[in-house]
Each structure stands twice: as structure tokens, then as C-alpha cells.
Amino acid sequence: MIDGAVRTDLIFVAEMVMVLVITTGVAQNAIYLFQLVVAAFELRRRPPILDARRLWSRYAGVAPRIAIIAPAFNEEATIIASTHAMLAQKYPDFDVIIVNDGSIDTTLERLIADFELHPVDEPIDLTLDHEPIRRVYRSSVVQRLMVIDKENGGKGDAQNAALNLCRAPLCCVMDGDTLLEPDALLRVVRPFVDDPERVVAVGATIRIANGTRIVDGQVEEVGVPKSFIARVQIIEYLRSFLMARLAWSRIGAIVLISGAFGVFRRDTLVAVGGYARGSMGEDLDVVIRLHRHLRREKQEYRIPFVPDPVCWTEVPEQLSVLARQRSRWQNGALECFFRHRGMALNPRYGRVGIAGFGQMLIVDVLGPIVEVLGYLTLPFFWYIGALNTESLLILTALVFGLGTFNSVASLILAELELRPYPRARDVLILGTAAILENFGYRQLHNLWRLRGYWHFLRSKKHWGEMPRTGFGQEESLVTSRNRQRSNA
């Protein structure tokens, strides 16, 4: 039995924990609701999605040169299909720079064989630091392709090496395992053309390729993956990567452009020192530094987000791989928040400091700790009688009800405005996943984030590897050209 004094103390602790959990939970869900409302408004007022022909006629004549930069480390399963998709861009003037960042598989060998690469001497700007470059290659069959082979230094280091060799005013920075839509560059260049003086970076929608049929680097049929883990990630991408970034972009407080795809002005990237080498969240860090630099310079600028789907990426379907990825993301978010903590809630940095960092504080810094604390302590307080059954049931209903609402509402909004999955059956499958993710997956996800917290506190940096199944059928550029010649 618990004596009266101890019981009184436990009730007091329970009340304090409840206040913390409820306050943080209300703040989180208020942020999610705000994101949905603003995203819905932004989707309703967006310009109509133009087809490829109208995009070309309107923007091809004024579109600036773009260099596609794609770091690759052990991407032998996807690198050929991804490179085909990069080279197949319907854009008037662009280069492709693949950076082999010390791969220990056959990534480089596949590129050399499939694109007939040969060593060349290229002038290298040494403005940004990076690990030594071993060799630079050019393709004999497509002159716009350059491959940099360098010693391993991480993604940010590889991006800096490419920036030093890049001569285009705009850089499209993406992952080596990302598959571009043919008109991706034309879609994301629109803000640069419409507002060339102020736009310094643009983000865009990333789709999940799992379950989608892809042939020769082209999407043939959009589908839903069989894996529940992959289906849940589709919901996460809609909620956290589409709706959230649309909302924060609308109010001028976006702090993240996904490393899977983003377009930047090269001069601005160089001005902030390029990408942070060895960072766990280099994509988040560079956008924050752009904000900090431009606000200190009192320069008027914009970082918009384009809701048009422009690229596809493969997501983990194994829990162990997904766990490492999410722990790494949490580690990177904490690293960036505390590295730039002087911006947090600082009026000097305007909406970025108040809204952008406020969201990071509530969702990334406090969110996983408080949510797991609630899962662990509230049932215990109910068991010892410090919390009555009615209060426990109300809190439980709120947690699961609001989580389900945010996920389902994000899916409905995306379908109403963008129709990413045209078949009703696929939408029903994803709707089921949006409900079920709150019962088990969400709790597990928070445990992975806590592990990322632990890695951050120990200054542990471990990227891990994600096994790739590849983007389906593909053929080499040389084989394709020979086949075309024989058919002619």
C-alpha cells in the first residue's frame, strides 16, 4: 500500500506530467492543424499544373542553366536508372554531375561501362572544402554527363566537390537513388523565372517509388506498395513533407528542403560556405544557414515550395533499416537545432526564428520525449489511483483521435487537390494505413527518435546503409543506342 504522503506526492507529480504532456500535445496538434489549413489554402490558390508542352513553350526560352548534382555512395542498384532519368530531362540547358563518394560496390564501374566514361582534366574551384578528388570523367556518348570520383567524406562533402566543379547559376541537388520526372526541372525553375531577384531556393514534392512500376527510368504505372511499412511512409510523406512544407513556405518559415531534391542558387550556397561536412542533417543545416545569412545581410528573399510531383525515391521496407534512418533524422534535427539555437524564438530572425524554430522545438526537441513519457507514465498513474479512469480515457482518445485525423485529412486533401493515387482502391488502402499507423507504428517511431536523441547526446554519427531493390527494368545507354540504330 502507498501511504498518504507518498500518494499526495505522486498525485502532484502526475498533475505536473499531465500538464506537460497535454500542453505539448495541444501545441503539436495545433501546429499540425495549422499546417493542414494553410496547405489547403495554398493548394487551392496554386497556379494550374501545366502539361509538358505548355511548360516548354512558356519557360524553355528563359530558363537558366541548371546543374543536377547527385552524390552516390554504394548505389549500384539504382544509379543507372537514376542517371537515365537525369539525362532524360526535358530542359533546354543542363548538366549532370554524379559524385561517386568512395563507393565500395560497383557504382563507379557501372557508370563507366554504361556511359563510356573517360578521364578528363577539369578546372576545379577550391572555394569549398572537401575530401580529395581522385579523377573526373566525361561520357563519350552524352557530353553533359560528368562523374567525379573522390574519397569518401559524406553527402555534404560530395556536394561541395560538385559545387566546386559546377559552372551553372542554379544547382539541383538530389540523391543518387532519386528518380526524376522528365519535366522536373521545368516545374521547379518556375519560381526562379517568375521572381529571379528574390528566389534563392525551391523545394518540391517527393513521391515514394515502392509499388510503382518503373521501366528504363520512367514511371509506367503508379501503385501502392504491398508492405505496410512502406504504405505508412506514404502517409508520413504526405503529412510531414508535403503539407508541412507547403504551409511553412507560405508563411516564409520553411527550414528544410529535402536532400532528395532541391534547387538552389549556386552563388548563395557558396556564400554560406556550402554544405556542412559530416553533418547528420546537411539538408536542414544549409537552409537554416541560408536564412541566417540572408537576414543578416538584410536581403529580401523567398524559399518557395512547389507541390507538383517531380521525383521518386525508394523507402525502407525493413523495420531495422527504417529505424536507423529515423534515428539518423532525429539526430540531424537535434544537431541543427542546437547548432543554430541562437535563432530559436529570436525576433531578429522573424518568422523563421519564431515559427520555424518554434515548430522544431515542439515537434523535434520536445515531441518524442514528452510523447513517450505520456505513454509510460499515464497508465502507471492510473494504476496507482493518481489518475481517474475518465481522464485516462479522454487523454487516450485525444492522442489517437487527433493523430488519425491529421493523417487521414492529409490524405484526403492530397487526393482532392493533386490526386497522387487515381485508383479508389489505392486510396482506401492508404486510408486504412493512415488509421492503423497510430496503433503501434507511431509508438515505435517515437522510440526510434529517442534512440536518435541518445546518439546525439553521445555525439555518435552513424549513417548506416539502406539496401536497394532498384527501380525495376533498365538497360544501359550504350545498349539503348545500339538497339535504336539496329531498328532504324
* C-beta atoms surrounding 479 within 10 Å: 11
**What is the maximum alpha-carbon separation in the chain?**
92
Asked if 174 contacts 69 with a C-beta cutoff of 8 angstroms, the reply is yes
| Cβ atoms of residues 65 and 90 within 8 Å | no
Burial (Cβ within 10 Å: 0-12, 13-18, ≥19) of residue 458:
exposed
C-alpha cell at 295: 537576414
Position 413, amino acid:
L
Residue 10 identity? L
pLDDT, tens digit, 9 for 90 and up, residues 216-253: 667 888 999 999 999 999 999 998 878 999 999 999 99
* Packing angle, helices 4-45 and 367-383, rounded to 10: 140
CB 202 within 8 A of CB 263: yes
- Nine-digit cell string for 272: 554560406
Q: What is the pLDDT along the chain (488 residues), one digit of tens a residue?
A: 456 676 677 777 777 887 888 888 888 988 999 999 999 999 888 777 777 788 888 888 899 999 999 999 999 988 998 898 899 999 999 999 999 999 999 999 999 999 999 999 988 888 999 999 999 999 999 999 999 999 999 999 999 999 999 999 999 999 877 888 888 999 999 999 999 999 999 999 899 999 998 876 678 889 999 999 999 999 999 988 789 999 999 999 999 999 989 999 999 999 999 999 888 899 999 999 999 999 999 999 999 999 887 889 999 999 999 999 999 999 999 999 999 999 999 999 999 999 999 999 999 999 999 999 988 888 888 887 777 888 888 888 888 888 899 999 999 999 988 888 989 999 999 999 999 999 999 999 999 999 999 999 998 876 656 666 666 544 444 444 443 333 33
Report how far Cα 289 is from the mean position of its chain's Cα atoms: 17
Q: For residue 214, report the phi and psi dihedrals to the nearest 5 degrees.
A: -125, 130
Coil, strand or helix at 70: strand
Q: What is the pLDDT of residues 58-90, one digit of tens each?
A: 888 899 999 999 999 999 988 998 898 899 999
Assign domain 51-342 to its CATH superfamily.
Spore Coat Polysaccharide Biosynthesis Protein SpsA; Chain A (3.90.550.10)
Domain ranges of the chain: 4-40+351-457, 51-342
List, in order, residues 6 or more apart from 454 with CB less than 8 Å away: 460
What is the pTM for the complete model shown?
A: 0.90
Residue 450's contacts (CB-CB under 8 Å, 6 or more residues apart) are 330, 368, 369, 372
Pairing of strands 178-180, 305-313: antiparallel
Question: What is residue 50's DSSP assignment?
Answer: P
Instruction: Please tell me the distance from the alpha carbon of residue 239 to that of residue 265, in angstroms, as a whole number.
Output: 28
What Cα–Cα distance (Å) separates residue 455 from each residue in 137, 153, 326, 345, 382? 38, 20, 12, 25, 32
pLDDT at 471: 62
Residue 137: predicted pLDDT: 97
Q: Which helix (H) or strand (E) holds 379?
A: helix 367-383
Residues 428 and 434 sit within 8 Å (Cβ to Cβ): no
Burial class (CB in 10 A: 0-12, 13-18, 19+), 167: exposed
Calpha distance 258→175 (Å, rounded): 10
Contact 417, 44 (CB under 8 A): yes
Q: How far apart are CA 212 and CA 224, in angstroms?
A: 7
Residues 10, 203: Cα–Cα separation, whole Å:
48
CB 261 within 8 A of CB 86: no
Residue 304 region, left (φ>0) first, then alpha (ψ -120 to 50), else beta?
Answer: beta
Neighbours of 485 (CB within 10 A): 8
